[in-house]
Chains A and B, each alone.
Chain A
Amino acid sequence: MKLTRAMAIGAMAAVMAATGVVSGVSAADDPAKVIGYRQAVMKGLADHITAIAMVAKGEVSYAGHVAGHAQSMASLAKLIPEIFPAGSEAGAPSEAKPEIWKDWDKFAAAAKTLEDQSAKLAEVAAGGDVGAIGAQLGEVGKACGGCHEPFRVKKAQ
């Protein structure tokens, strides 16, 4: 399996958050860099899904990795509120809508839902029930929509 740069960044970020190295966003960070960083984290989430999908489709036989990918997703999801600091609305091309900062509680709650659903995917994956894993992946996708529907500029999918 290819370990992409975004996955590596995401994994490092998750470790740093877990160990307390990252304790909030510095106001000094360049908003363009914050946007680039959060896009790397989002790409990390997508790459974990791609990896799970490759297992699910039978393209690779790393079935034992699914729970780990899901745990990594939960760790990345935990970072979401921090990587959308006030003041990062503009500075680089971004699909984040200003509504994020107007309706912050809803945004943060939706991010928490992704964390919870990803953690549940990890549990389900460890249980090995293939049908349940597929269904839980659907729930994770719905959780993505908790933010993407109201808070992301629509694009052709």
Chain B
Amino acid sequence: MPPRGVTIALIGASLLAGAFLSRTAADEPPTSPAERGAYIVRAAGCIACHTDKKGGGKELAGGRAMVTPYGTFYTPNITPDPETGIGKWSDEDFVKALSEGVSPAGDHYYPAFPYSSYARMTRADMLDLKAFLFAQAPIARPNTPHDLIFPFSLRIANWPWKLLFFSNRPLDPDPKAAPEINRGRYLVDALGHCGECHTPRNILGAVDNEDYLSGTKSGPEGELVPNITPDVETGIGNWSVKDIVFLFRTGFRPDGNDLQGGMREAIDDGLKYLSQADLEAIAAYLKSIPPIHYQVRAPRPPKAGGDFNFD
């Protein structure tokens, strides 16, 4: 057995720099559509919403309750079960659902399903995703109807909403930006749908891109969602790319505080599996967007005595 000092030195050498953060990612290039789709399902964060973890539901079989100001949505079954899932969907059905927010039966989806973001995915990524979903075990679980307040309970109301707020133009790469920034933007806007939580919504529930990624006090499930623009005081302007990637891998901020809630799920079911290059691209893109000064903060608990203020 080597002396202790040598062992520590060896560990030190192996822990150096980026190696620590990159080893958990699958860096082997995938070959089949389903394998590529296995990566898309992580990058697009499908599992967290389409799985009823609290109720012990099977992965991707839906049924998770999503409490919003408009009522409670129950996510649908997206396993390939032909009766209760999406097993009968054609490629065109699947592409239409993601790019237009329309079901095979012609119903307009609620924007709780982030098709506004997914519409910007490439068709190739959509079809790889479908190949992955169809390679999973079919689970028979009938969809739970949404429980929404009037007038949102009227699905027809989704149609004028779309006219007002939805555009399915693709996400064209910015020719002036570096490839890494364009890749990061695609991961953030099309796949990761970060803005669905991190950008505030207007009174009709549409994301308001004037305040792109600057956080909101009324996020999903009543959570406070932080400002992730590079504003130094209220956003992540002081974070390095490494800080951001470390958070995606472990769920810890640079100050050692742990993330919980929706972002913990986004990490555990998705982000932590992405490649080092992709996580760095997301971080580089976030650092490149316009900083917005906006402080998202919960009202402090009433002071019972003393002025000790722990944050």
Contact = CB atoms under 8 A, between A and B. Distances in A.
Interface of A: 32, 35-36, 39, 43, 45-51, 53, 55-59, 61-64, 66, 90-95, 125-126, 128, 130-131, 133-135, 137-138, 140-142, 144-145, 148-149, 153-157
Contact of A141 (B226, B258, B296, B310): B258
Contact of B260 (A45, A64, A149): A149
Given A46-B257, A148-B258, 16 more contacts: A43-B310, A50-B256, A51-B256, A58-B18, A58-B242, A63-B12, A92-B308, A93-B304, A93-B308, A94-B301, A137-B250, A138-B250, A138-B267, A141-B251, A149-B260, A155-B298
A63 B16 contact: yes
Interface residues of B, number: 58
B47 interface: no
Contacts of B16: 58, 61, 63
17 contacts: A32-B308, A36-B310, A46-B257, A50-B256, A58-B20, A63-B11, A93-B309, A131-B23, A131-B24, A137-B250, A137-B252, A138-B250, A141-B252, A145-B264, A154-B222, A156-B226, A157-B226
Contacts of B300: 93
Interface of B: 7-21, 23-24, 215, 222-226, 240, 242-243, 246, 249-261, 263-264, 267-268, 272, 296-298, 300-306, 308-310
B15 A55 contact: yes
A57 B243 contact: yes
Contact of A63 (B15, B23, B240, B257): B15
Nearest to B25: A131
Contact of A93 (B14, B252, B303): B303
A157 B256 contact: no
Contact of A142 (B222, B242, B264, B303): B264
A154 B309 CA distance: 16
A63 B15 CA distance: 6
B222 to A, nearest CB: 8
Given A48-B256, A92-B306, A153 B298 contact: yes
A46 B222 CA distance: 25
Contact of A149 (B226, B261, B297): B261
B272 A138 contact: yes
Nearest to A149: B260
